[in-house]
Amino acid sequence: MRARRPGLFISFEGGDGAGKSSQIGRLADHLRRLGMTVRVTREPGGTDNAEAVRKLLVTGKAESWGPLAESLLVNAARADHLDRVIRPALDRGDVVITDRFADSTTAYQGIAGGLGEATVEALRAIVVGDDEPDLTIILDLPVEVGLSRARGRGDADSRFESKGVAYQERVRQAFLAIARKNPDRCVVVDATPDEASVFDAIEDAVGKMLGARQ
């Protein structure tokens, strides 16, 4: 359960190419039209220090870092992100929407990477504490579709995509397992339809969460 700060904390998760950025933009616009102040951010990233760590993690060869080193780096970035961006925004009463959060570490390093859930969850307890998201949207689609979409973007942040289909399938199954373990926080949304249809499902999930808080 998240600490009772005044704001709302929403995370988006899913494999590469799931369409998180587009859906986050739609949701931010929707919530702003409702009169809310929205802060959009991402992980790894969100601060100058964390963006520097991001460059180490998402570029280069697939074997550049092992899962323990990856987990330590991303948690260092997350600690700075929480201290400088997320917690202050939540204390102001803002809505924070992040493209990835601690579930990604569990999925990519803990489960798919083989580090083990116990290790990443211990780090999560230290770094995140009670500041878990109010709602986590997991965008799910077949790995081959996601990788095709990701390759179409043509950006340089491709290190994790280069780890191959088998690794990406482990990531997908890890996110689904996280959702089953955390049904009060996580909602799985089918990301294969068109963007508008996917957003309809997201809007419904967010609306239910807002209604439950009133």
Any idea where the domains of the chain sit in the sequence?
8-213
Query: What single-letter DSSP state applies at residue 82?
Result: I
Task: Mark residue 42 as left, alpha or beta (left: phi above 0; alpha: psi -120 to 50; beta: remaining).
Answer: beta
Q: Confidence band (pLDDT; 50, 70, 90) for 158? A: low
Residue 6, pLDDT score: 94
Residue 83, pLDDT score: 98
Q: Confidence band (pLDDT; 50, 70, 90) for 213? A: confident
Q: What tokens were used for 140? A: 């799910």
Class of domain 8-213: alpha beta
Residue 4, pLDDT score: 74
Confidence check: pLDDT of 156 > 60: no
- Per-residue model confidence as pLDDT tens digits over 67-125: 999 999 999 999 999 999 999 999 999 999 999 999 999 999 999 999 999 999 999 99
43-50 mean pLDDT: 97
d(CA 41, CA 132): 15
d(CA 12, CA 98): 6
